[in-house]
Structure 1
Amino acid sequence: MPEFAPLKNDLILRAARGEKVERPPVWVMRQAGRYLPQYHVVKAGNDFFACCRNPELASAITIQPIDHYDGYLDAAIIFSDILVIPQAMGMKVHILDKIGPHFPDPLREPSELETKLTKEVDVLKELDWAFKSITETRLKLNGRVPLLGFCGGPWTLMVYMIEGGGTKLFRYAKTWLYAHPEASHELLSRITDVAVEFLAQQVVAGAQMLQVFESWAGELGPKEFKEFSLPYLRIISSRFRKRLVELGITEHIPLTIFAKGAWYALDWLADSGYDVVSLDWLFDPKEAMKIANGRVVLQGNLDPGTIYGSKEVITKKTEEMITDFGGGKQGYIVNLGHGTQPFFDPENLGWFLKEVHRVGSA
């Protein structure tokens, strides 16, 4: 592991460990990306994944919001995508302009597990560029804020790999669950294996905190979530810790789970081995605090749409949220309830960050 500069701001790491802090830390999902005009300058016609695979470009894009909102963000998150795991497993993925991710040859039949996927994935080789991006970014940050890494949750990645892109009906993924449950579990298990190694190697490369994005969790009912998502999320958290020890890393690396839409699962997630549970905006903060009952740190959960409102509305909603999460001095990290959107006014997002500092420091 390279020699990295000491951290000047470790607020989010202390908060994630459950320590009392002077104010709640804040970062936002997808904080590096299309809503910032300088992103388009750096991207300069490059394909999305070409930017991800170029450590120079990825690090520049990752650091853009840290520079733009100088002093107001408490973490950087590496510019990448959850779909790099399917790519490492042998699948082709493209990001189509104004459409999103597209798999030209998705999995449709269980027999294709053997013909379309790599059986033994060499994570260090296949995702070498991702680790180089993390190391370069951590070096360039020079200790300003911690660097976050991430991966997609197994169920979420399974959806994309089977549907071939975004979907409203989940026709093919649900066919697998209900018509081919054994094959579904095999696929989920194989994704989980890659996710564990990918997360661990991100830490080796320099990531200081990690998040698992189970973005399609809310498309499963409670029973299905307990069968097809939760077990694999628990495997990730437990095996990740063991893998770090094998790699000689004894430092506790905070691990966050974001199971979007799975409001029924908070109690289970609080006992699933994660340090932080990130919440979407469908949660009532006070109820979430009661359910979590100090077992985990909570993160979230401002409706991203709030950023389209006036500064007065952003202030009001930010004040309400931090108050409802107990004031934010312990057990809480401020975030949006989902990622930023391309149409955000950067000034409005900046106003939100400044209000978090004002309210959280009171």
Structure 2
Amino acid sequence: MAQDFPPLKNDLLLRAARGEKTEHAPAWIMRQAGRYLPEFREISKTHGFFEMCRTPELATELTLQPIRRFSGLIDAAIIFSDILVVPQAMGMEILMNPGPFFPAPLETPADVSKLRAVDVNKELGYVFAAITQTRVALAGEVPLIGFCGAPWTLFVYMIEGGGGSKTFQKVKTWIFKYPAESTALLARIADVCVDYLVGQAKAGAQLLQVFDSAAGELSPHDFALFSLPTLVHISRTVRARLAAAGLPQPPMTLFAKGAAHALPALAGAGYDTLGLDWKVDPAEARRAVGGTVALQGNMDPHVLYGGRAAIERTVQRMCAGFAGEGGWIANLGHGITPAVDPEDVRWFFECVRKYSARKTATPNDRLSLPKSNV
């Protein structure tokens, strides 16, 4: 989609994502457009969750809410949507009750025949429209992030029928009993994710993030078998498709929750930035990735319930941990939860700004990124 957008006034996120030291760490939070905001809850009183996702005007408004509230402190917007729009596009019904519920999950490989081929422009064009509208409405204040769920995480939802499983018995049965069929379905989901991310970039997304929220449910061996290949496929194919079309390539971030064991492999998976959960020490993460990628994260979201002294103390320690070489994007180690006080979120952003200030940053102070990331 060819469109002229307002010039970007704050490019901290994009510079940090590409490995540059910045004057202070850019900050945003996962699920920042969400239920912890009273203005979000007001709109959700009269509109269903997926209705808000599917209505570009509502998605734009919800995306802008935290930008307005935390203007001057927040360095990125992330489009209001959900990772489960991909299974919806593939023909699966999803209800919110209150969390996601699939009335007809995939029980056996025979059920894969029920999935439909996906034309992302037809099935997910509402997301692309919301991205374009939001880019205009942001007026260049901050960059806009697009995203998708990782194939493994989407596969888990499609088979478990929701996100509340404690044993993951159904999806583990699939990968161990039907490994070939599981691999084939994961590859099919990955191809939809590629089309979807390319469409988001064309619509105006300035950074793309892949969420592998269920990565930690796999052993290192099984992560390398069932998740990592699809993640590599997504990064390489999105970049190749955009390059072939002569289009700019947004930086790409991968958040593989619970997969710290795979950081060395993920550092070579073709992403500019790796997101970290709160169970990873920043220094250990730096050593694991070998200085080849930027990092994002990683405060425990529940610290936001601990009061301002705890928030400040934790942010100060986090900033010190990430203060060495390389780009860093300040964030939580997972999504913000609904009962957090927005003013404590403001304090989080203020503390990041205070404790991440760098006095010697220069525009050319960059990491040496692998060729696949350029």
The equivalent position to 2:185 in structure 1, one of 177, 184, 187, is: 187
Give how far 1:257 is off: 0.4
Same amino acid, percent of matched pairs: 53
1:216-244 deviations in Å (ceiling 9; x for gaps)? 00000000000000000000000010111
Counterpart-to-counterpart distance in 2, 1:163 and 1:3: 43
Work out whether 1:121 is the aligned partner of 2:118: yes
One-letter amino acid matched to 1:199: L
1:246 aligns with 2:244: yes
1:339 to 319, 335, 339: 335
The code of the aligned residue for 2:40 comes to Y
Contact (CA 8 Å) 1:24, 1:330: kept in 2 or not? no
Is residue 35–residue 341 contact of structure 1 (8 Å, CA) maintained in 2? yes
| Pair 1:276-2:273 in alignment | yes
- The amino acid of 1:354's aligned partner reads E
Q: Which runs of 5+ in 1 are unaligned?
A: none
Contact 2:323 2:356 in 1 (8 A): no
- Using the TM superposition, give the Cα deviation of residue 330 of structure 1 relative to its aligned residue in structure 2, in angstroms: 3.6
Q: State whether residues 293 and 326 of structure 2, in contact with CA within 8 Å, keep that contact through their aligned partners in structure 1.
A: no
Relative contact order, CA 8 A, sep 6+: which one is greater? Answer: 2
Q: Which residue of 2 aligns with 1:207?
A: 205
The reply on whether 1:94 has 2:95 as its aligned counterpart is yes
Look up the SS of the partner of 2:145 in the other structure.
strand
Matched letter for residue 278 of structure 1: G
Taking the aligned partners of 1:3 and 1:150, their CA distance within structure 2 comes to: 22
Q: Which position in structure 1 is the counterpart of 2:321?
A: 324
Structure 2 Cα separation of the partners of residues 129 and 259 of structure 1: 27
Structure 1 residues 246 and 95, CA, compared in 2 at 3 Å: closer, same or farther? Answer: farther
Cα separation, 2, equivalents of 1:177 and 1:293: 32
Shift in Å, 1:42: 2.2
The superposition leaves residues 182-222 of structure 1 with CA deviations (integer Å, 9 ceiling, x where unpaired) of: 11011101100000010010011110001000000000000
Q: Which amino acid aligns with 1:112?
A: D
1:353 paired with 2:354, answer no
The match for 1:305 is 302
Q: In the TM superposition, what is the alpha-carbon distance from 1:252 to its structure 2 partner? A: 3.0
> Which aligned pairs between 1:141-152 and structure 2 lie closer than 5 A?
141-152=138-149
Name 2:106's counterpart in structure 1: 107
Amino acid at match of 1:259: A
Match of 1:159 in 2: 156
For 1:137 and 1:247, locate their aligned partners in 2 and report how far apart those are by CA, in whole Å. Answer: 23
Q: Secondary structure at the match of 2:205?
A: coil
**Over residues 300-354 of structure 1, what are the superposed CA-to-partner deviations in whole Å (9 max), with x where a residue is unaligned?**
0000011001211111100000101125x74211000000100101111110000
**Separation (CA, whole Å) in 1 of partners of 2:326 and 2:179:** 41
Aligned equivalents of 2:304, 2:261: Cα separation in 1? 27
C-alpha deviation, 1:247, in angstroms: 3.0
- Give the Å deviation of 1:178: 0.4
- How much has 1:104 moved relative to structure 2? 0.7
1:110, distance to aligned residue in structure 2 (A): 0.4
RMSD of equivalent CA atoms: 1.0
- Aligned counterpart, 2:366: none
Which AA in structure 1 matches 2:5?
Answer: F
- Structure 2: state its 5+ residue gaps: 359-374
Any conservation in 2 of the 1:294–1:331 contact (CA below 8 Å)? no
Aligned residue in 1 for 2:82? 81
Partner residue in 2 for 1:135: 132
Q: Which amino acid aligns with 2:202?
A: V
